[in-house]
Amino acid sequence: MTQRQKVMIWGGVLLLVLLFLFVFSEILPPFIFGAAIAYFCDPIADRLESRGLSRLFSTVVVLIIAILLFALLAIAVLPLLVEQFTALARNLPDYVSALYGRIEGLIGKIDATTSTENPGENSAANRLRDAAQNLSGSLLQGIWSGSLAFFGALAAIVVTPVVAFYLLLDWDRMIARIDDLIPRRRLLEVREIASDIDAVLAGFMRGQFLVCVIQGTFYAVGLSLIGLEFALVVGMISGMASFIPYVGAILGLVLSMGLAFTQFWGDWGAILAVLGVFIAGQVIEGNFLTPYLVGSSVCLHPVWLIFALAAFGSLFGFAGLLVAVPAAAMVGVLTRHCIAHYRNSRLYLEDEM
């Protein structure tokens, strides 16, 4: 087989994978979550299996422990979380009305200070008024989209454990079948690359999970001390979204500042305190949490990571965001191997030969 034929075959495989992600992106998140859980729990199941337990019993034990931990966390946090979500949904129309009134007052001040002989030509004030009039509709649309996302999350809660169970049960067999399909001539090389990818992904998933928990707790406690309403909701959303680098901080900041402007309008000290909590959270995350918990396991430049998130999110939606970091890590590992191969090639060493 020629080199050109190899490139065409692997290029076709890559196109099929991308097409699959594009077509099924809306239904993939539960399967991605299930695969992540199975990948994360496989070492534990392997250890139990080495102690003499069957693979089926090991899988059941691991998933029961995971479900019990999730249930204990839900019992401790869920009642307060549901209460805050309910209160936020109930009070949201009042918040929208209050914010609309404040924007109208700001428009009035602009009209008073920038009035001309033809008030209708005051384009700045008109644009601001139009934006204020569209605010309620945009928020209502966001509520509807959020409701659909909520029901989608419920479906994911049901589907994800089932997917995780079957994948974890057959994980070793699936890996063995894939290994059996690798061309024997490239077996050692492919295994080395797969081992590097596994080290990158495992290090990232373990470390980033701890970062999410710590950041979510920090934001919830800090915002609660300031007195921001729905601080637990903001902390939970920010922490969960922090699994995707940069997304959690941006989402939490936008949400908390919107609530702060609504609740603390005129109290600029409290608004700046809310902003300070997120700045402190990012300083702690960037200088302590990520370097010590995640370390250099991902080995990706931040610009490349941002590009991967933007590209996969734009092409494949939420499912793309979930696979962006693992895909970027895989590309990083493959790139390093290609560079090492290039440095040992005749093309690079031509002048020395």
For residue 330, CA distances in Å to 39, 179, 211 come to 15, 17, 21
The burial of 97, by beta-carbon neighbours within 10 Å (0-12 exposed, 13-18 middle, 19 or more buried), is given as exposed
For the residues of 155-166, what is the DSSP string, one character each? HHHHHHHHHHHH
Q: Can you give the pLDDT of all 353 residues of the chain as single tens digits? A: 666 776 787 788 888 888 888 888 778 888 888 888 888 888 899 999 888 889 999 999 998 888 888 778 767 666 666 676 677 666 666 666 666 666 666 666 666 665 554 554 445 555 555 555 554 455 445 444 444 444 455 556 778 888 889 999 999 899 889 888 888 888 888 888 888 888 887 777 777 788 888 888 898 888 889 888 788 888 888 887 777 666 777 888 887 887 887 778 778 888 899 889 888 888 888 788 777 776 655 566 667 777 887 888 888 887 787 788 788 878 888 888 888 888 887 777 765 55
Q: How far apart are CA 175 and CA 166, in angstroms?
A: 14
Contact present, 229 and 95 (Cβ < 8 Å): no
The pair of structure tokens assigned to 222 is 């800090």
Whether the CB-CB separation of 63 and 41 falls below 8 Å is answered with yes
Side-chain half-sphere CA neighbours of 260 within 13 A: 24
Query: What are the angstrom distances between the C-alpha of 234 and each of 47, 255, 257?
Result: 37, 7, 10
Tokens of 249: 């901080």
What are the sequence ranges of the domains in the chain? Answer: 30-113+122-181
The predicted structure's pLDDT at residue 88: 66
Look at residue 347 in the predicted model and tell me its pLDDT: 76
Q: How many CB atoms lie within 10 A of CB 30?
A: 21
Q: 275: burial class by Cβ within 10 Å (0-12, 13-18, 19+)? A: middle
Task: Please name which of 330, 44, 322, 339 lies closest in space to residue 200, comparing C-alpha atoms.
Answer: 330
Prediction pTM value: 0.65
Question: Other C-beta atoms within 10 Å of 100: how many?
Answer: 15
Query: What's residue 101's pLDDT?
Result: 67
Q: Identify the residue whose tokens are 């601001």.
A: 128
Predicted local confidence at residue 150, as pLDDT: 47
